[in-house]
Amino acid sequence: QHNGEQGETEQAGTGSIAGARPRLGVGMVGYSFMGAAHSQGWRTVGRAFDLPLEPHLAAICGRDGDAVRAAADRLGWAAAETDWRALLDRADVQLVDICTPGDSHAEIAVAALDAGKHVLCEKPLANSVEEAEEMVAAAERARMRGQLAMVGFNYRRVPAMTLARRMIAEGRIGRVRHVRVVYLQDWLVDPEFPLTWRLDRAHAGSGALGDLGAHIVDLAQFVAGEQIVGVSAMTETFVRERPLLAGASAGLAGTGGAERGPVTVDDAAVFTARLGSGALATFEATRFATGRKNALRLEVNGEHGSLAFDLERLNELSFHDGTEPAASAGFRRILVTEADHPYLEGWWPPGHGLGYEHTFTHQARDLVHAIATGTDPAPSFADGLRVQRVLAAVEESAAKNSAYTPIPATA
Ligand code: SOE
């Protein structure tokens, strides 16, 4: 299931040190939550896995000089830049990793690809279908020159999720009938939580839909091994005004001032979908699930078995094999920590589990292998565009409200 095996060939553009593995110079744009998560991936990947190239954390970029220099020291980068264009000019950078809000993904990714760099871009790929299309076109041009582009849907790299995809592809649950996915967080329940960039459509594109819905759309398609072909949706913004941000935001948090401004994105999105095979899927993405911190739960029901997963117990995959005698059948827990489980060859003895951060290490691992072997990485920008089309269809369906059938009031 890994994207590419260890390569023999050296890709043009990778710097080489005599007697050592060729280097892959990484330049990162952004150093907040996702920047820190990706940095962790780049720092650890060459130690956990036997790689054909050695990732080198060449430079990190952000607009605030003092802050980006502090981030470079904290996160392990050799240099700091304050203009992403300068990052693209650096000869020691062969791969640009974009960890900025969605409104700058397209501009940076297209410029980086046109400048001859490989690109890893955080999800969602863009803020609109049009931008995502431009990015796919740039990736196709760059592919002819041997450059690769990948979008960062990191939850594909939870070992249990890669295993679930493998088991479904092997026919362990038969034909898929239902996919049921929710992604529940609660960091917006307080109406005094300030208007960070994630609540501003101009920066984020959408709210829970693009931030959380993008993950579960990608994951559902990845695990089931098929595409969504249509949706019917509702979205809601529960708190429509919030305090303006006073100062900088950090991670998901920030401090509000006295003035208020409008929330221009959805707080929650629920939608149903049909998959190509005719299977039915349901999705819920919300930042208002009080008490749920990062509850991404997925269940797939097939004609003779089911799989279930919860990100809050990410080392486990539940499996019901419906071909077993009914008297002893039932969901059982697979502890996904065996050496022959996906990605586990790089880590600990059985039972010594992994966490959220390892998904970024696995993402880096797969991209390094893809670059070394010249293999198309997954999820590609085209996969990111497909997710973007689903998000756009959800917004269109919610705006039309056409499937919504009010129930007449009774006395
Ligand atoms: C915030 O909702 C967030 O950090 C997302 O932006 C990430 O993509 C998700 O993995 C965790 O939650």
pLDDT, one tens digit per residue, over 280-321 is 999 999 999 999 999 999 999 999 999 999 999 999 999 999
Q: Which of 16, 13, 40, 12 is nearest to 28 (CA)?
A: 40
Non-local CB neighbours of 384 within 8 Å, separated by 6+ positions? 121, 123, 124, 125, 126, 132, 135, 136, 151, 153
Residue 185 alpha carbon, nearest atom of ligand 1? 2
pLDDT attached to residue 251 = 74
Find the 196 Cα to ligand 1 centroid distance in Å.
14
Residue 154 alpha carbon, nearest atom of ligand 1? 10
Instruction: Compute the chain's Rg from CA coordinates.
Output: 22
Find the 383 Cα to ligand 1 centroid distance in Å.
19
Residue 287 alpha carbon, nearest atom of ligand 1? 2
CA atoms 25, 30, 32, 37: torsion sign: negative
Residues forming a β-bridge with 230: 274
pLDDT in tens, 328-354: 999 999 999 999 999 999 999 999 999
pLDDT attached to residue 218 = 98
pLDDT attached to residue 248 = 77
Q: Cα dihedral angle (189, 191, 193, 194), rounded to 10 degrees?
A: 140
Q: Which of 121, 375, 38, 205 is nearest to 111 (CA)?
A: 121
Helices (H), 55-127: 65-75, 84-89, 105-114
CA atoms 138, 140, 146, 151: torsion sign: positive
Q: What six digits make up the tokens of 34? A: 């996702």
Residue 208 alpha carbon, nearest atom of ligand 1? 2
pLDDT attached to residue 8 = 32
**Which residue puts its alpha carbon closest to atom 11 of ligand 1?**
294
Enter the DSSP assignment of 287: S
Q: Within 13 Å of residue 328, how many CA atoms lie on the same side as its CB?
A: 2
Query: ipTM score here?
Result: 0.96
Enter the DSSP assignment of 313: G
Whole-angstrom CA distances from 216 to 121, 268, 280, 297, 404 are 17, 13, 14, 9, 23
**Which of 211, 266, 360 has most ligand 1 atoms within 8 Å of its beta carbon, as the pocket-test mutant?**
211
**Which residue puts its alpha carbon closest to atom 7 of ligand 1?**
211
Residue 122 alpha carbon, nearest atom of ligand 1? 8
Q: Residues with Cβ within 6 A of ligand 1?
A: 33, 185, 211-212, 215, 252, 294
Whether the predicted model's global pTM rises above the 0.90 cut: yes
Find the 211 Cα to ligand 1 centroid distance in Å.
6
Residue 251 alpha carbon, nearest atom of ligand 1? 4
Low-confidence ranges of the chain (pLDDT < 70): 1-19
**Which residue puts its alpha carbon closest to atom 3 of ligand 1?**
211
Find the 357 Cα to ligand 1 centroid distance in Å.
12
Non-local CB neighbours of 247 within 8 Å, separated by 6+ positions? 254, 255
**Which of 212, 215, 296 has most ligand 1 atoms within 8 Å of its beta carbon, as the pocket-test mutant?**
212
Alpha-carbon gap, residue 105 to 389, rounded angstroms: 16
Burial of 399 (0-12, 13-18, 19+ CB in 10 A): exposed
Residue 215 alpha carbon, nearest atom of ligand 1? 8
Find the 252 Cα to ligand 1 centroid distance in Å.
9
pLDDT attached to residue 5 = 33
Residue 211 alpha carbon, nearest atom of ligand 1? 6
Find the 189 Cα to ligand 1 centroid distance in Å.
16
Find the 44 Cα to ligand 1 centroid distance in Å.
21
pLDDT attached to residue 19 = 60
Segment holding 244, helix H or strand E = strand 241-245
Q: Which of 28, 43, 45 is nearest to 372 (CA)?
A: 45
Find the 297 Cα to ligand 1 centroid distance in Å.
14
Q: CA 302, 366, 305: angle at the middle one, nearest 5?
A: 10
